Amino acid sequence: MPADIVFGRMLPGAALGLLFGNIYYAYLAKRLAAKEQRENVTALPSGVSIVFVLVYTMGILLPVSKITGDPVMAWRIGLAANFIGAIICVIGAFIGPWLRKHLPTAAMLGALGGLAVVFIAGMGLDDIFSDPIIGFVALAVVLWGYTARGKIPFRLPAGLVALILGAVIAIFMGKASVSFEGVGFYAPIPWFFTIGFQAFKEAAPFLAVIIPLAVINFISTLNNVESANTAGDNYPIRETMIVDAIASAIGGVFGCPYPNCVFIGHPGYKRMGARMGYSLLNGILMTVMALFGLFGFMSKIIPTSAVTPILIFIGLVNIEIAFTAVPKAHIPASAIALLPFVGEFAFEQVNSTLSAVRMSAADPNVLASLMMEGLNYPGYTVLAYGTIIIAMLLASILAFVISRELAKAAAAALIGVFCSAVGLIHSSTLAWMPVPQLTLAWLIVAAICYALYLYGKKNPQALAPVEE
């Protein structure tokens, strides 16, 4: 994507959407604190999630740019995708409370745990181990201050100390530099008012890709609000989804193709001692950096290996909650929700490797070579699309089976049948029966669960839950 679009359009738009979201979530935290008469309320973390930046870039912007050869057109379609996602988020706001009530906690927290272990914590280790002098120092400070809850001189936040130490070490090692490239004022311009109709028209052929990504985004918000609930801050799911939709629309109007969302990390921020003020500070700071092009400037001074330990801590807290905030009997359900993300990670890594050497798994010879080396690419592929939904379905079915709620397990499997049949999972686009074998597999699971339910009605003792 050309630099003028990134700095002049995307970042200013993202900043305004993020600012609105952070201000509102600070207000929401203040309202909750007043209602419950306590001060230890942590605002929901909000903004453009790096996970969805990758998902939307790889799923929409990059493919469209390759197909059309026009990155500006890809950006326009991204804006339309953002608005479509906002509409779906509003629709999700009205079914979100029902889902939150009926889904097992293990399904929601387990899916977040999988996202955290692979894409938040796991992927950060390479930055630390490839730059160990800075990375290990920063990681030690973060784990001491936040995980072990050790004291830091002058009561400084461990994350801030890690960033400062990382920058200082980088300067002494000659790894830091001062560059003003890209610095300047980028005024937000309401681009969408001039290209809106054209963008929607151009996006129409890509709806089969856009809609599943938007559904996954609203489900992610649902799960992240649930994680805040388990950490002690009970926020209204409907209101948060509508706020996300408005923030996304604001960002889209001013040029951002990525959705705003409540992202992963609330329990981690709470463990750090963050309250409602951090949301305001984050919104203001990110807006200033985006409008004045300071992200590149800061990245030259503070190395990635100093930032990553904070993400690892946030990931660790989400993994911990996936196993401690669910009924003990449902821990295996949380565990199974982690596994699909490993397949998605393998898919992304294999694709990136092949792309780097200008090869593709679509080539039968390449695919055969991958399979001979033990890389089950077809299996990775069907796990990589709709991963968070797959994880929640598996965890829901297992949790219901453990609790002997077999009719609910059958219903969850039938949802898997529907999602598979229309391409919401296991497929890169919406389509009818893209992977018929998997649709049949979900149907078989539903039939087995329902048969067990009928058997249990006649023989209640035979299927009684096992007492530990």
The three state secondary structure string of 220-268 is HHHHHHHHHHHCCCCCCHHHHHHHHHHHHHHHHHCCCCCCCEECCCHHH
Between β-strands 46-47 and 261-262, what pairing exists: parallel, antiparallel or unpaired? antiparallel
Task: Name the pTM for this structure.
Answer: 0.86
The DSSP call for residue 466 is: P
Report helix, strand or coil for 467.
Answer: coil
Q: What is the pLDDT along the chain (468 residues), one digit of tens a residue?
A: 777 888 889 999 999 999 999 999 999 999 999 999 999 999 999 988 777 787 788 778 887 887 778 889 999 999 999 999 999 999 989 988 888 888 999 999 999 899 888 888 888 899 999 999 999 999 999 999 988 888 888 888 899 999 999 999 999 999 888 888 878 899 999 988 888 778 888 888 888 778 888 888 888 888 889 999 988 999 999 999 999 999 999 999 999 999 998 988 898 889 888 898 899 998 999 999 999 989 888 888 999 999 999 989 988 988 998 999 899 999 999 999 999 999 999 998 999 899 899 998 989 999 999 999 999 999 999 999 999 999 999 999 999 999 999 999 999 999 999 999 999 999 988 899 999 999 999 999 999 999 999 998 888 887 777 655
The answer to whether residues 165 and 302 touch, using CB atoms and an 8 Å cutoff, is no
Give CA 174 to chain center in angstroms.
34
| Partners of 46 in the β-ladder | 262
Strand partners of residue 47: 261
